[in-house]
Each structure stands twice: as structure tokens, then as C-alpha cells.
Amino acid sequence: MSEIKNTNTDFEVRSLDAMCINDEEKKVPMWSNLQYLVFGILFGIVLIKSEVVSWFRIQEMFRLQSFHMFGVIGSAVVVGAISVFIIKKFKIKTIRGEEIILPKKDFNKGQIYGGLIFGFGWAMTGACPGPLYAQLGYGASVIIVSILMAMLGTWIYGLMREKLPH
């Protein structure tokens, strides 16, 4: 009984703002998560080799001194948008034959306040969350401090959530 109750609140909490509210219906074995490890490795290599993880490149971007970062993000969005369009248009299913669900996002003021706060942090650390992990792997051991602080920031947000304007 408590199990069922947990599952319901779980969905409710997750749907508030989790980026991954969609799930596979079918039970998938644990080892199938290894595919995400492989995709992550590919993503990490791209981040490093395109210097998206470079503090210097982020400074250039925010000073409008280079097109590089805008080109990376812009072309990523174009390719992503075309892919999503094709998936919707042809009702492409997952490899396990499930319908692909694309969650809609609702506007709340957190996207502005939180967005600005993240922007500050992005310009300071020169990294968004993905690059932090890649920088650590690349050998910048001190970045573990930034990652732990990012976890703490997330935790404090969770703690203060009800009191913050949304």
C-alpha cells in the first residue's frame, strides 16, 4: 500500500520540474543503462574536443568575441529541432516500440530568476553542469569542489523551494 502511495507522490514531485519525467513503460534490465554510459562518453569527448568546456571559450562567448560557442549551441538546436520534428511527424517509436513522449514545460518565474543565477555561475566557473564532469575527467581535480558545491546549491534550492518565488 505504501508502495503505491510513494509511486504517486513520486510522479507528482518529479513532474514539477524534473527534466526526465518520461519513462519507459516496460521494465528494462539494469545493464541496458550501459548504453547511456556510452552516449555520455561520446558527449564528454565532444565537449572537450570542441573546447565547450573551456573557461576561456565561455569568456569569449559572454564578451561576444567569438562565434564558436554560439555556433555550437545554435547548430545543436537546429539538429535537435529537425530530429524532434521528424520524430513527431513520422511518429517514430523507441527501439522497444514505445511511443516517444515529449514533455511540455510550463512557464514559471524560476526560469528567469534561476536562469540569471545560473548565468552568473556559468560565467564564473566557465562551465555548465555537463562540462564540470568533463573537466574533472580531463584531469582538473579541483573541479570536484565545484561539483560538490553545485550539489549543495541544488540541495539548498530543494530546502528553500517553497519560500522562493516561482
Binding to other proteins (CB under 8 A): which residues in 52-91? 52-63, 65-81, 83-84, 86-87
Shortest separation between residue 133's beta carbon and other proteins, angstroms: 4
Among 27, 89, 91, 157, binds other proteins (CB under 8 A): 157
Query: Which cell goes with 4?
Result: 503505491
In sign, the C-alpha dihedral spanning 81, 45, 59, 154 is positive
Instruction: Report the residue from 89, 91, 126, 163 that binds other proteins according to the rule CB under 8 A.
Output: 126
Closest separation in Å from C-beta 108 to other proteins: 8
Determine contact, residues 134/120, Cβ cutoff 8 Å.
Answer: no
3-22 positions binding other proteins, by CB under 8 A:
6-7, 9-10, 13-14, 17-22
Task: By CB under 8 A, tell whether 105 contacts other proteins.
Answer: yes
> In the bound complex, what is the minimum distance in angstroms from residue 110's beta carbon to other proteins?
5
Q: Name the minimum Å distance from CB 39 to other proteins.
A: 6
Task: Give the one residue of 2, 4, 91, 141 binding other proteins; rule: CB under 8 A.
Answer: 141
b or e along 104-142 (b: 16 or more beta carbons within 10 Å of the residue's beta carbon)? Answer: eeeeeeeeeeeeeeeeebbeebbbbeebbbbbbeeeeee
| Binding flag, residue 29, other proteins (CB under 8 A) | no
Q: Dihedral (C-alpha) 55, 56, 60, 62: value to the nearest 10 degrees? A: 20
Is there a contact between 110 and 166 (Cβ–Cβ < 8 Å)?
Answer: yes
Instruction: Determine the size of the site formed for other proteins (CB under 8 A).
Output: 132
Residue with cell 520534428: 85
Closest approach of Cβ 2 to other proteins, in Å? 13
With cell 573537466, the residue in question is 135
